[in-house]
Amino acid sequence: MESSLPEVPQGNSAITRFYDWLVSIWVNPSQLSVAWLALAVPWSVMSILSDESRVELSGLGIFIVGRLFDILDGKYARYLMSENRWSAKWDGATLDSHCDKAGIYIPLVLFLYLHWGDNWKTISLAIISLVMGWLDGKSTLMRTANWSNIAKSLRWGSELLAENQNSPKMPNNPANTANRWGKIKATAQTVAVGCVLLHESLPEATCAAIVLLVTATICSLVSLKKKTQLQRMRVIS
């Protein structure tokens, strides 16, 4: 049993015109995934290392902009697939997943390293992060990845998109598809990291981060269970 893809934009809508503009400058979904990582990690690290409110706020702003790239890449890939300009064989979903985890866990681990043992909040945050990381790790191991194809998907220019017009479609692996719980988890993780970035300007935000990461952990557990069930049904069918 395979998950159906969400509906892609149709007609002459603003978002469709934007996707067509991205095609015209030869930007592909995998490059957007890497752009999110390139924006999020350096600025979030700078915010955590800084004690200045303006640096924290600017880091948070750029982290949010980077997250918008992450939201966009999947929708853009589905649009290109509907136009026969992008193939699932490039395994952009796996690259996107790894970029997501790096963008979330790098600032989180750095914050815990610098503030470990300061108070009960950071200790609680560390314990929750370990459980959440273990669940995310199990989810990642379920993914099938061809790193050669992923590397090819990062190429720039007309060669890649033209090549995909005649590419065979690959069967969708349920483990590579984000479900509703996975999306809630990703949103909770993003807001939690945003709260961590404001640790000096708004110390109370750490408590909000704990609540959000508990929510993300529960969603991760449910998402993993549903993906496991889908994989078993796929094997049986």
pLDDT digits (tens, 9 = 90+) for 146-201: 566 666 666 644 445 544 444 444 444 444 456 788 888 988 999 999 999 988 88
CATH class of 14-236: mainly alpha
Q: How far apart are CA 217 and CA 225, in angstroms?
A: 12
pLDDT category, 106, cuts 50, 70, 90? very high
Residue 46 or residue 82, greater confidence? 46
pLDDT exceeds cutoff 60 at 35: yes
Residue 212 phi, psi (nearest 5): -65, -40
pLDDT (mean) for 94-110: 87
Q: What is the pLDDT of residue 213?
A: 94
Amino acid 169: pLDDT:
45
Mean pLDDT score, 119-144: 83
Compute the distance between CA of residue 208 and CA of residue 205 in angstroms, rounded to an integer: 5
State percent of the chain over pLDDT 90: 16
Per-residue pLDDT at 227 exceeds 60 = yes
93 has a pLDDT exceeding 70: yes
Confidence label for 218 from pLDDT (cuts 50, 70 and 90): very high
pLDDT of residue 212: 93
Nearest 5 degrees, angle CA 215-CA 67-CA 172? Answer: 80
pTM: 0.75
Mean pLDDT throughout 215-223? 91
pLDDT reading at 31 higher than 60: yes
Local confidence band at 37 (pLDDT 50, 70, 90 cut-offs): confident
Per-residue pLDDT band for 19 (boundaries 50, 70, 90) equals confident
Task: Show Cβ contacts of residue 21 under 8 Å, excluding neighbours closer than 6 positions.
Answer: none
Per-residue confidence at 105, pLDDT binned at 50, 70, 90? very high
What is the mean predicted confidence (pLDDT) over 143-148? 59
Mean pLDDT over 208-219 rounds to 93
Does residue 18 have a pLDDT over 60? Answer: yes
- Mean pLDDT of all residues belonging to the chain: 76
Q: In this structure, what is the dihedral angle of CA atoms 133, 136, 40, 25, given to the nearest 10 degrees?
A: 170
> Do residues 112 and 129 make contact, with C-beta atoms less than 8 angstroms apart?
yes
Q: What is the mean pLDDT of residues 101-124?
A: 88
- Does 209 or 160 have the greater pLDDT score? 209
* Torsion sign over Cα 112, 181, 98, 175: positive
